[in-house]
Amino acid sequence: MTIVHNLGFPRIGAQRELKFALESYWKGESTRDALLSVGAELRQRHWQQQAGLDLAPVGDFSFYDQVLDMSFTLGNLPERVRGFHGDALDNYFRVARGRSAQTADHHACCGGVAAGEMTKWFDTNYHYIVPEFTAATTFQLDASRLLEQLAEAQAQGLKAKPVIVGPVTYLALGKAKDGSNKLELLDNLLAAYTQLLDALAARGVEWVQVDEPILVTELDADWQYAFNYAYHQLKVCRVKLLVATYFGQLQENTYLAANLPVAGLHVDAVNGRDDVRPLLNLLPPHKVLSLGVINGRNIWKTDLTDVLDWLEPLARQLGERLWIAPSCSLLHVPVDLNSERKLDADIRSWLAYAVQKLDELQVLAQALRGGRASVSDALAENQTALAARRASPRVHNPAVRQAVAQADADLGRRVSPYAERAARQAALLQLPAYPTTTIGSFPQTAEIRHARSAYKAGTLDAAAYKGAMQAEIARSVREQEALGLDVLVHGEAERNDMVEYFGEQLDGYAFSQFGWVQSYGSRCVKPPILFGDISRPRAMTVEWTTYAQSLTGKPMKGMLTGPVTILNWSFVRDDQPRSESCKQLALAIRQEVLDLEQAGVRVIQIDEAALREGLPLRRAQWQAYLDWAVESFRIAANGVQDCTQIHTHMCYSEFNDIMAAIAAMDADVITIETSRSDMELLDAFDHFNYPNQIGPGVYDIHSPNIPTREHIVQLMKKAAERIPAQRLWVNPDCGLKTRQWGEVLPALANMVAAARELRQVA
């Protein structure tokens, strides 16, 4: 009998209930009990939606991040928060965002501290809080969160499978703040894991899912040894361990994974189907093999007949040792397609959200248990939808394909090398040393959101909506001029999301109403659905940008999202290579860049925040990705004249190992996140002579904490030790959309004051 289980479920709620509860609590508008109640209600609902599974995950729910949850479970708190004597949940939020909450009069409660460093979870758009270690780190188990959720699930009659981050992955994802060897902490860490597993066994748990996704990355001998050592230590525990890998292929780690002394192994059979046959030859005869056969990261329906053709022989071979599941946690897809009432009917018929993916699993399981005839109607319906998608004229545009075929390397070359361009841009723009700017967006106020909602609902006409957005743009320009910023932005009042906004204006995209997924904490994004060939029917940003430029004599940046980021932050069609879709996007953005330049815009920022997260998890595959990703950016950016200054922005990723590719993009100015890592990202410039201008983000916009002038000066002096001062810009580390004006204005005032101080000694 094939076992059906799930690795994790979206935690935010079909209507983003968790987001709104968190933000209400942080603003001091609701109580801790109210927040906890929303969490309990969501867990109960999500377990009900998984009630048909043989085993359902427990512990996958989090109020911010599952890696941060593991840090608190292990008692691994940064030194700066260990002396806190208040509520544990408030301390948790202090690590997550620098501050727990605010009182009604917006004074900080619970004391502001530096937030934990945040970076991307493997190659996804989910962000986790990086564990912090030193040589003196110890671990002190606090299993209360997981045990309380387990008790809730058991009271609901759930067949519970607790989910935890594995010890080796936890160490690998963390950062040694003192440069010590993290692996020297392994023994102490395993003692805490042993206590945790024994506590779960004492409460009747049979299986525990231990997530070890670093098994799909290249591991040196020390980390391979750490895996063997760790699981030989844990094998004495009284629970069965299912080690779960996902997001890629095991490849050379196949033997290691197959022979870990655990009861079961989960592998991603969507990305790593080629791993399965070798695994069958290596797997001990007692061990369960869980296959992730439904894509947990995209929203297209699965070809169930194709999967069955592949699965049925395996089921005959493995019998009860075969489990099936999604490829990874369903955290990365929206909750329920049944919420969608406005989505195009044809496209809707091609999709599956989290709930529907679990339905697909049940169809596969029933076919394996009772034969295909028992689910013939479901299989026929599935094939009809897939055939309709393949044949749809809305998917294929011959003109777009011809344009891509005709694109050559010349499209990606600037007229002159950087040094010549920089001189022409300096003469035109007349900027001071340490020029100041922001990354693009300003606060999305309640008034902006209300106007957008009314416009979408049809209760506000187009002229009134345009007037409301122009008023907000005018406010942003006034505030920036009053602050004394050097290069201004229009604030993006009219934009809902940096990817969705562009997707809405491109042919080949569709949009959901409730297709929300978590990016970090309460931050949710609604990725557009890239279903067909991409083209730009009309200009997308020119009118708003030229209006903003008309209000000021200072340079106004045109703000665009780059092709690689639009691709990586979309649900992308799976019927052609991603590189092909990216080049289509590049040609569309290139048209917009040229239209902005034609309209007199001389500074254009093309954000590539997601460049690094598209990297394959294995270094051996990086270059192929970087080749087409960099080419796509260059096609989008490099049709302009020398005197037009091209900026790009990247955030919350490690860039040190791809600096050559970033330099190859040949942007005139790059702005990057460095504040949360205390400028550690600039270590790359000790070994790489970056040729162009750079703005290291000097304050963390994801925290409500307001940076001081002195702190910003200190950070920029660190930057000037690596990069010539004449090539440095001063800017926040990301857009200001999620902040409030009351936080933004004093922070930017301090930033401008810091730049002026730096100019005095430049």
Q: How far apart are CA 55 and CA 72, in angstroms?
A: 25
- Residue 288 has phi, psi (to 5 degrees) of -75, 140
- The reply, when asked if residue 109 is annotated as ligand binding, is no
For residue 246, the one-letter residue type is Y
Q: Other C-beta atoms within 10 Å of 484: how many?
A: 15
Residues near 336 by Cβ (< 8 Å), separated by ≥ 6?
A: 14, 49, 353, 354, 355, 356, 514
- The reply, when asked if residue 613 is annotated as ligand binding, is yes
Nearest to 658 by CA among 672, 640, 677: 672
- The reply, when asked if residue 582 is annotated as ligand binding, is no
CB pairs under 8 A, 24+ apart, for 86-91?
86/110, 87/32, 89/32, 89/35, 89/36, 89/63
What are 399's two structure tokens?
């003109």
- The reply, when asked if residue 673 is annotated as ligand binding, is yes
What are 510's two structure tokens?
């569709």
Nearest to 98 by CA among 675, 653, 731: 675
- The reply, when asked if residue 649 is annotated as ligand binding, is yes
Q: Is 687 a catalytic residue?
A: no
- The reply, when asked if residue 441 is annotated as ligand binding, is yes
Q: Other C-beta atoms within 10 Å of 553: how many?
A: 7
- The reply, when asked if residue 110 is annotated as ligand binding, is no
DSSP H or E run through 714: helix 709-720
Q: Which of 266, 450, 702, 711 is catalytic?
A: 702
Confirm if 7 and 266 have CB atoms less than 8 A apart. yes
For residue 297, the one-letter residue type is R
- The reply, when asked if residue 410 is annotated as ligand binding, is no
Confirm if 476 and 427 have CB atoms less than 8 A apart. no
Residues near 267 by Cβ (< 8 Å), separated by ≥ 6?
A: 245, 246, 250, 257, 275, 276, 279, 289, 290, 291, 292
Q: How far apart are CA 543 and CA 546, in angstroms?
A: 5
Instruction: Compute, in degrees rounded to 10, the torsion defined by CA atoms 205, 206, 212, 215.
Output: 180
- The reply, when asked if residue 440 is annotated as ligand binding, is yes
What are 256's two structure tokens?
């290691």
- The reply, when asked if residue 237 is annotated as ligand binding, is no
599-631 burial, b for 16+ CB within 10 Å, e for fewer?
eebbbbbbbbbbbbbbbbbeeeebeebbebbbb
- The reply, when asked if residue 120 is annotated as ligand binding, is yes
Q: How far apart are CA 309 and CA 251, in angstroms?
A: 23
Nearest to 364 by CA among 317, 316, 325: 325
- The reply, when asked if residue 396 is annotated as ligand binding, is no
- The reply, when asked if residue 651 is annotated as ligand binding, is yes
Q: How far apart are CA 307 and CA 319, in angstroms?
A: 17
- The reply, when asked if residue 157 is annotated as ligand binding, is no
Q: How far apart are CA 624 and CA 632, in angstroms?
A: 13
Q: How far apart are CA 546 and CA 551, in angstroms?
A: 9
- The reply, when asked if residue 17 is annotated as ligand binding, is yes
- The reply, when asked if residue 125 is annotated as ligand binding, is yes
For residue 532, the one-letter residue type is G
For residue 277, the one-letter residue type is R
- The reply, when asked if residue 492 is annotated as ligand binding, is yes
What are 8's two structure tokens?
């994790």
Residues near 574 by Cβ (< 8 Å), separated by ≥ 6?
A: 295, 298, 300
Q: From start to end of 1-83, where are the E strands? A: 3-4, 56-58
Confirm if 211 and 265 have CB atoms less than 8 A apart. no
Q: How far apart are CA 54 and CA 209, in angstroms?
A: 14
List, as residue ranges, the binding site for L-homocysteine: 439-441, 492, 607
List, as residue ranges, the binding site for 5-methyltetrahydropteroyltri-L-glutamate: 16-19, 120, 125, 523-524, 569, 613
List, as residue ranges, the binding site: 16-19, 120, 125, 439-441, 492, 523-524, 569, 607, 613, 649, 651, 673, 734
Q: Which residues are part of the catalytic machinery?
A: 702
List, as residue ranges, the binding site for Zn(2+): 649, 651, 673, 734
List, as residue ranges, the binding site for L-methionine: 439-441, 492, 607
